[in-house]
Structure 1
Amino acid sequence: MTEKLSQGVKDAQARFDAGMGADGEASPYPMLDRLRRQAPVHPGWPEMGILDNPAEGQQIFTAYSFDAVKAVFTDNITFSTRCYEAIVRPLQGPTILEMQEPEHGLYRRLHEFAFARSSMRRWEAELVGPLVQRTVERIRGDKRADLVETVFMPIPVRVIAALLGLPESDVPEFHRLAIDLLGFHSDMDSALRASAELKDYFVGILADRRRSPRDDMVSVLAAADIDGVQMSDEQIYGFMRNLLPAGAETTSRSTASLALGLLGHPDQLEAVIADRALLPQAIEEGIRWETPLLNFMRETTHDVEFYGHAIPAGSTVAVNLGSANHDESRWDRPEQFDIFRDRKPHIGFGHGAHVCLGMHLARLESMLIFNTLFDRLPGLRLDPDAPAPYVAGTYFRSPQHLPVVWD
C-alpha cells in the first residue's frame, strides 16, 4: 500500500505554497538575471519575499551577484543576522540564527554535537537508509507515483522526527504544525499557534530525555557542554522548532528539483544510474540550478560602502541565493541543468559563520534516496500521460508534483 501524506499536511502545504508565490510556473529568474546584469547590488527589494511591508523609513538593498552575496555572508560582523530576532524569536524562541559573536560561535559548537560525523555514519546504516528503503518499497509495485507526495516530502520529515526521537504516530501532526510555522509570512496567527503547540509538545519530550537519555538529538543537546556552558531548555526548544521546517522543507524541495532535472535530461539520468560516482556532483548541480530557498537577509551594524552604495547602519541587506547561483560570470549557461559542467562551489547552503548546519545530513539523505530509487524503480521516467511537471515558487522553489512511471 502506498503511503500518502495526510490531508492536514496537504492542506497546510497548499496554504504555504500559495503564500510563498508558488501559483503557476512563472519563474523569477528572468527578472533576477536582468537585475544582476545591471548591477551586483540594487537599492530596494523585488516583490518576491518577506520584506513586502518594510517599516517606514527602512532602507533596503539586495545583493544579486555571486561575489556580492558571498561577501555579505562572509562578513557576519558588518552584515548581522540580528534582523531575524524580531521575526524568528516570537516563532521559535532563541536560536543561533540571530545570535551574534562571540555567543554565536560558542552555541554553534554546542549545536554541532547533534551533527557529529560519527552520528551520521550510524544514522545512515540504522535510520536513514532503512527508512528510505521502506518508503520506496511501498510504492515499487504500483509502477507509477507522484514522487513529491510519496517520497520527497515524507522522507525528510520522518528523518528529522526520528533523529529527535519522536513517535511515528506523531509525525503527520508534527509535519502539519511545522509547515504552518514556516508559513508565517502569509498567516502569522496560524504560525504562532503552531509554534505554541510545538513547544508544548517538546516540553514533554525534553523532560523525558533529561530523565532518561536516549540515542537521539534531543538527548545529545541536553548533555552537550563546552567549558561548562550548556544549552538552556528554551534554546533546545528553539532548535527543535527550527530543525523540522528548515531541514525537512529544504531537503524535500532540493531532492524534488534534482529529480526533475535528471528526468528532464535522460542522458544525464542514464549516466548517473550507470556511474553512481556522478551522484554527488548531480546533487550539487541540482541545488545550484534550483536553489530551494532563494532569499535571506542581514542588517548592517555600521555605515558601509558596498558595491558602489553607501549603506547606512541599520539597513536591511537581502541576499538572493538563486540569483547568485545563476551568475553568468561564474557559470556558463547557468539556467541549464548540467551535471557535467565545471565544478565550482555554489552558495545554496549559505556561506561563512552561519552556513547551514544540516548540509551534510541533506546530502546524505539525497544520496540514499536517489541510489534507492535507481536500484528499486527500473526504467524510471516522467509519466507521459500526466501534465508536465515544473518548478514553482519565488521564495521557496521546487516542483509541486512529479508524476513518474517505471517498469
Structure 2
Amino acid sequence: MTTIADNWKVHADHFWLRGRRPERPVAFNEATGIWDVFGYAEALQVVNDHKTFSSDTTRVVPEQGEFTDGNLVQMDPPHHGKLRKLVSHAFTPKVVADLEPRIGEVTRELLDAVAGRDRMELVEDLAYPLPVIVIAELLGIPASDRSMFRKWVDRLFTDPEQFSLAEPTEEQQHRLDVALRDVRKLKAYLTEHAAERRRRPRADLLTRLVEAEVDGVRLTEDEVANFANLLLVAGHITTTLLVGNTVLCLDANPEQRARVRADRSLVPGAIEESLRLLSPFAALSRVTDAEVELGGQRIPAGRLLLVWIAAANRDPAWFPDPDVFDPARDPNPHLAFGRGIHFCLGAPLARLEGRVALNILLDRYPGLRTDPGESPTFSPSPGLTGVSRLPLLIGD
C-alpha cells in the first residue's frame, strides 16, 4: 500500500512511517550510543516505571541542566507531582470546555483573514497562531509576540541530525549551543514577565506560578521561567502538528474524508488516528536508574533511552492494519500524549483546539485539499512528525 510517507518527503530515517517494522522491539544504536525502544509493550513498561526509567536526562546531557528546574518533562517524583498540581487546575475538564467559545472565535478570525483567497498555508494561517494565542492568553503574555516565540522555538526543531552520545562532534555541539541560546532568549523573556507579575499581579496563569508555593516555599525564578517555557512550547507545538497532520491524513484518504465530513461525530476519532499515525512528538527520553531487562535486552544503569512512541503506535500486535488511517478505530490506545505520571497535561486542550479547528475548516471549505503544485514541508527534526508548511486549495 502507498503511505503518506511515500507520497511526501517524510523523515527518511523513520522507517516505520513507510510500513517497515523494527527487527527488535529494543535495540542498541551503535551510531548514537543510545538504546532505541520501538515496541508498544516495551514503551509502556518504560513510561509506567518512573523508578527504573528516570526523566532526568541531565546526567547524560548536562548541557540541559539550566533548564531542568521547573521543567515537568525532566522531573521525577515526588517534586514532579507537587509542581504538576500547581497548574493542573488550569487544565481541568470544565476549564478547558469553557475555552471552546474563545477557540472558535480565534479560529474564525484567523480564517476571516484569508477570506477571498483561493488558497491558504494552513500552518502559517491557522495551525500555528491558534494554539499560541490560546496558551499565551492563559499565561497572560502578549499573543502579538508570537513571531518572536516562533523564531526562538523553531530553531529548537530544525536540526535534521539525531543527537549522538557515541561520537559527539564539534558540529553537534555548535548546533546544541545555538538551540540553547534561543531557549535562553525565551527564558529571559518569560523571566521578565514573571518579574512584572511579582510587582503587579494579574488574573493569569503566570501570576499563579509566581505566587504558588511548594512545601511552603515559593518557586524560584528559574522554576517559574522553565515551567512557563514548557507550557508555552509544548502548549502549541502539539496542536500545530495535530491540525496539519489530521488535514493531511484526510486529504490522503478521500473516502475517510467524505465519511468525516458527512458525520462530524467522527472528527475526534480522526484526530486520535492522526495522532497515532503521525505522532507529533516522535520520541521521549529516559535514563536507566538501574540495570534492567527490556524487550529481551539487558540495559545497564545510567544509559539513555529514546522511546519511539511514533513506532510503538504502529505496533501490529496492538494496532491491526497499523498503516491504515481509520477514524473509527476502536480501541485506539496510542501513546502520542504519553502515559502514566507524565501524561500530557495539555492533552484535553490540544484535542479541543483540534476538534474546533477541523470542524470549522470542514464547514467553510467544501473543496479543501492539498495543492498539487506545492508539496507540504515536514519538520526536519527526527524528534517531531508533522508538517511545518501545508499549502491548501480552499476554493470550490
Q: Matched residue of 2:207: which SS?
A: helix
Give distance in 2, aligned partners of 1:165 and 1:141: 33
Q: What is aligned with 1:159?
A: 134
- Whole-Å separation in 2 of the counterparts to 1:398 and 1:198: 23
Bigger mean CA offset, 225-234 vs 333-342: 225-234
Please, what TM-score do these two structures have when normalized by structure 1?
0.83
Distance 1:65 1:101 in 2: 25
SS in 1 for 2:152: helix
Report what 1:387 is aligned to.
Answer: 374
Q: What is residue 256 of structure 2 aligned with on the other side?
A: 268
Provide the rounded CA distance (Å) in 2 between the counterparts of 1:249 and 1:282. Answer: 19
Cα 1:92–1:190 shift into 2, 3 Å: farther
- Count how many residue pairs are aligned between Structure 1 and Structure 2: 371
Aligned to 2:256, the other structure's residue is in SS state helix
**1:150 corresponds to which residue?**
125
Q: What CA deviation, in whole Å up to 9, does each residue of 1:96-126 have, x standing for no partner? A: 2222221111112123133233332332223
- Which of 77, 88, 103 in structure 1 is aligned with 2:79? 103
| Aligned equivalents of 2:142, 2:16: Cα separation in 1 | 44
8, 12, 15: which one aligns with 1:30: 15
- CA distance in 2 between counterparts of 1:383 and 1:183 reads 24
- Give CA deviations for 1:245-285 in whole Å, capped at 9, x if unaligned: 22222221121111000122222222222222111111100
Contact 1:135 1:151 (C-alpha < 8 Å) held by counterparts = yes
| Conservation of the 8 A alpha-carbon contact between 1:89 and 1:95 | no
C-alpha contact (below 8 Å) 1:41/1:63 kept by paired residues: yes
Select which of 137, 143, 146 maps to 2:112.
137
Decide which of 174, 177, 191 is 2:152's aligned counterpart.
Answer: 177
Distance 1:375 1:214 in 2: 37
- Between the aligned partners of 1:325 and 1:106, the Cα distance in structure 2 is 30
**Residue 254 (structure 1) aligns with:** 242
SS for the counterpart of 2:113 is helix
Farther off after superposition, 72-81 or 99-108: 99-108
Partner of 2:51: 77
CA distance in 1, matches of 2:77, 2:296: 27
Partner residue, 1:191: 179
TM-score w.r.t. the length of structure 2 is 0.85
Cα deviation code 1:157-204 (max 9, x no counterpart) = 222222222224322112212223455866223323223322332223
Distance 1:192 1:344, change over 3 A: closer
Q: 1:10: which partner in 2?
A: none
Alpha-carbon distance in 2 for matches of 1:363, 1:102? 28
Other structure's SS at 1:314 match:
coil
Alpha-carbon contact 1:296-1:318 (below 8 Å) kept: yes
Structure-2 separation of matches of 1:201 and 1:209: 13
Residues 1:335 and 2:323 aligned together: yes
Aligned-partner Cα distance in 2 for 1:231–1:117:
26
Cα gap change, 1:404/1:377 in structure 2, threshold over 3 Å: closer, same or farther?
same
Partner residue, 2:313: 325
Shift of 1:352: 1.0
Question: Runs of 4 or more off by more than 4 Å in structure 1?
Answer: 31-35, 181-186, 390-393
1:12-34 deviation per Cα after TM superposition (whole angstroms, max 9, x unaligned):
xxxxxxxxxxx944544436865
Residues in 2 aligned to 1:92 and 1:307: alpha-carbon distance in whole angstroms: 29
SS at match of 2:286: strand
Q: What's the C-alpha RMSD, in Å, of the aligned pairs?
A: 2.5
Amino acid in the other structure paired with 2:115 = R
Q: CA deviation at 1:138?
A: 1.2
Whether the 8 Å CA contact 1:179–1:245 is kept in 2: the answer is no
Matched, 1:68 2:42: yes
Question: Match of 2:36, SS?
Answer: strand
1:15 equivalent in structure 2 = none
How far did 1:227 drift? 5.8
Name the CA distance, whole Å, in 2 between partners of 1:99 and 1:26: 29
CA–CA separation in structure 1 for the residues paired with 2:149 and 2:371: 31
- 1:284-323 map, 5 Å: 284-323=272-311
Distance 1:299 1:213, change over 3 A: same
Equivalent residue in structure 2 for 1:42, among 12, 27, 30? 27
Conserved? CA contact 1:114–1:221, under 8 Å: no
Q: Distance in 2 between matches of 1:31 and 1:137?
A: 38
Aligned counterpart for 1:210 among listed residues 181, 190, 198 = 198
User: Runs of 5+ in structure 2 lacking a partner?
Assistant: 1-7, 164-171
Q: CA deviation at 1:343?
A: 2.5
User: 1:35 Cα shift?
Assistant: 5.5
| Contact 1:73 1:351 (C-alpha < 8 Å) held by counterparts | yes
Identity of aligned residues (%): 34
